[in-house]
């Protein structure tokens, strides 16, 4: 579980001690470790001093797709053909809209070109990797088109 303070507020003047303070926390947790947000809140509440309380403002679904799903297996096969390696399944700690697809029962995952410095001034992407991404998606879409044209 990770907990990050993303907002902090208290006094409306720099020389006044506030009567109360509030903090907004961004909490992320592995879904296999907790039954849900209420269990997470109870765990966090047990760590806080008396008089502090927690309120859930927003809940997001985790990003998880079964690695054995047929589309995932096909994708991995195409990546192996194009890049010569099978990418590993790893846990992603950032937020992504792909989680909304998973919640709707649509397989989703993250895979992109090689690069670094994400969301920073020094963000970069390897051009050869972009070309590989193009080849991967072209191959997948060609296969999907061929498969759908054979259906009655």
pLDDT of residue 94: 65
What's the pLDDT tens digit per position in 113-143? 999 998 899 999 999 999 999 999 999 999 8
Q: How far apart are CA 152 and CA 150, in angstroms?
A: 6
Report the DSSP beta bridge partners of residue 3.
27
**pTM flag (> 0.85):** no
- Residue 59: pLDDT band (50, 70, 90) is confident
Segment holding 130, helix H or strand E: helix 127-149
Closest CA to 129 of 79, 77, 71, 72: 79
Contacts of 98 (CB under 8 A, 6+ apart): 63, 108, 109, 110
Q: What is the pLDDT of residue 42?
A: 94
pLDDT tens for each residue of 31-54: 888 888 899 999 999 999 998 999
Written as six digits, the tokens of 71 are 């589309």
pLDDT at 152 over 80: no
The first and second tokens of residue 59, run together, are 């809940």
Give the gyration radius of the chain's Cα atoms. 22
Query: Which domains, ranges and CATH numbers included, belong to the chain?
Result: 2-45 (no CATH), 70-149 (1.10.150.900)
Predicted confidence (pLDDT) at residue 13 exceeds the cutoff of 80: yes
| The predicted structure's pLDDT at residue 92 | 67
Is 90 exceeded by the pLDDT of residue 76? yes
Contacts of 68 (CB under 8 A, 6+ apart): none
Q: Are 61 and 31 in contact (CB under 8 A)?
A: no
Task: Tell me the sheet residues that pair with 122.
Answer: none
CA distance 34 to 77: 33
């Amino acid at each position: 579980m990770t907990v990050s303070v993303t907002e902090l507020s208290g006094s409306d003047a720099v020389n006044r001690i506030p009567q109360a303070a509030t903090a907004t926390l961004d909490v992320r947790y592995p879904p296999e470790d907790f039954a849900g947000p209420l269990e997470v809140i109870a765990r966090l509440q047990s760590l806080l001093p008396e008089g502090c309380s927690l309120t859930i403002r927003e809940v997001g679904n985790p990003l998880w797709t079964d690695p054995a799903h047929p589309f995932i297996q096909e994708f991995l096969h195409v990546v192996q053909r194009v890049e010569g390696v099978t990418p590993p399944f790893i846990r992603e700690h950032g937020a992504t809209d792909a989680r909304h697809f998973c919640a709707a029962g649509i397989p989703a995952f993250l895979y992109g070109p090689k690069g670094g410095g994400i969301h920073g001034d020094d963000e970069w992407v390897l051009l050869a990797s972009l070309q590989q991404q193009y080849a991967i998606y072209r191959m997948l879409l060609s296969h999907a088109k061929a498969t759908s044209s054979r259906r009655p």
